[in-house]
Structure 1
Amino acid sequence: MDYVNIVLQLIVAISILNVWLIQYNKPTQWRGGNASNIMEEFAVYGLPSWSCYLVGALKVLAAIGLILAIWFPILLKPSATVLGVLLMGSVMMHVKIKDPIKKSIPALLFLAICIYLIFAN
């Protein structure tokens, strides 16, 4: 397997796991609107609270899938696709509430990496 792909998989996976498992209840400069945690962010987007749990579970599972894909390559495309779709949704939510483009940069970057991982393999 290409080491560049492995590095990209790990960057995306660790970043997603960090956001959803470690930074979950902490304010960051990337949160939508003036939200100080993920639940507030979903409320700012006008989404129901259950959607936060669904999106979080899918993102964590897909991130773990990217890590496991290092040894089980069959997991790469499905994991990158799920993350890509969810990251596209993240960007759309930032646009919906008219956030500055800066807040969409992480989602756009990881979306680009997921697209690369889907089509480069």
Structure 2
Amino acid sequence: MLKNNIMEIVKIILQVIVGLGILNVWLLRFNSKTSYRGGNAGNMKEEFQAYGLPEIMVYIVGFIKVALAIALLAGIWLEYLVDPAAIGLAVMMLGAIIMHLKINDPFSKNIPAIIVLLMCIAIYFL
């Protein structure tokens, strides 16, 4: 019983970290330069340009990631949302890793996507 409670607490903590982390990147830091942006991009739009993607993809990917992050957070109370949100965000993180690899970014730029991917996998299996 105690083990199950601890696992559930860890799962919720991961949901909060991932959900708020995604919302931070897409809503608060959208126009900010970070050391993890693809290529030499100074904001999200420039990052997608560096990947060779059309501008509309910024908004499509952003909408999907924000929706999945909200679903992951709502999953604290609505459990049926957790698995689809975790799987969806894991797929999105794989896409981010592929984009960084596509433009030969250094490994360090993949670290946030790898960490979020691993947390999403943990959420799914917890």
TM-score higher than 0.5: yes
Give the alignment partner of residue 99 of structure 2, picking from 93, 104, 110: 93
Kindly indicate whether residue 13 of structure 2 is the aligned counterpart of residue 7 of structure 1.
yes
Task: Report the CA distance between 1:67 and its aligned residue.
Answer: 0.5
Please report the TM-score for the alignment, with normalisation by the length of structure 2.
Answer: 0.93
Q: What amino acid maps onto 1:74 in structure 2?
A: Y
> Residue in 1 aligned with 2:51?
45
The correspondence of residues 69-84 of structure 1 with structure 2, limited to 5 A, is 69-84=75-90
What stretches of structure 1 of length at least 5 have no aligned partner? none
Q: Are 2:117 and 1:106 equivalent residues in the alignment?
A: no
Q: What secondary structure, in the 3-state scheme, does the structure 1 residue paired with 2:64 have?
A: helix
Query: Aligned pair count?
Result: 120
What are the within-5 Å matches in structure 2 for residues 56-71 of structure 1? Answer: 56-71=62-77
Query: Does structure 1 residue 22 correspond to structure 2 residue 21?
Result: no
Letter in 2 for 1:31: R
What is the Cα deviation at residue 117 of structure 1? 1.2
Question: Using the alignment, how far apart are the partners of 1:57 and 1:84 within structure 2?
Answer: 15
RMSD of aligned alpha carbons = 0.8
Q: Alpha-carbon deviation of 1:73? A: 0.4
4+ runs deviating over 4 angstroms? none
Give 5+ residue unaligned stretches, structure 2. Answer: none
3-state SS of 1:80 partner: helix
| Structure of greater Rg | 2
Percent identity over paired residues:
47
